[in-house]
Amino acid sequence: MNNKRGLKKRTPFASTLDIELEKKFKELSDITRINQSRLLDEAIGDLLKKYEHLLIEKQSR
């Protein structure tokens, strides 16, 4: 199913970032030439792996 923006496998996500984190994040994107949404996918994936045990605990309840 497509959302309003025609995205099939993505969903819009809005948040705020610490100013210094945002500057470094943009710089990393510029240096690596990887768009920010792809870098954010990777970062969130890593964070979910780090806390996977909490998700497993909650599901087993």
pLDDT one-digit tens code per residue, 21-45? 999 999 999 999 999 999 999 999 9
Residue positions counted in the chain: 61
d(CA 38, CA 59): 28
Task: Please state, for a pLDDT cut of 90, what percent of the chain lies above it.
Answer: 67
Q: What is the pTM of this model?
A: 0.78
Asked whether the predicted pLDDT for residue 4 surpasses 70, the reply is no
Domain assignment present for residue 43? The answer is yes
Answer for the pair 39, 30: CB distance below 8 angstroms, yes or no: no
Torsion (CA) 37, 38, 39, 45 in degrees, nearest 10: 110
Domain assignment present for residue 4? The answer is no
Domain assignment present for residue 9? The answer is no
Considering all CA atoms of the chain, what is the largest pairwise distance in Å, rounded to the nearest integer?
Answer: 44
Domain assignment present for residue 42? The answer is yes
Q: Among residues 42, 10, 13, 9, which one has the least CA distance to residue 25? A: 42
Our count of domains for the chain comes to 1
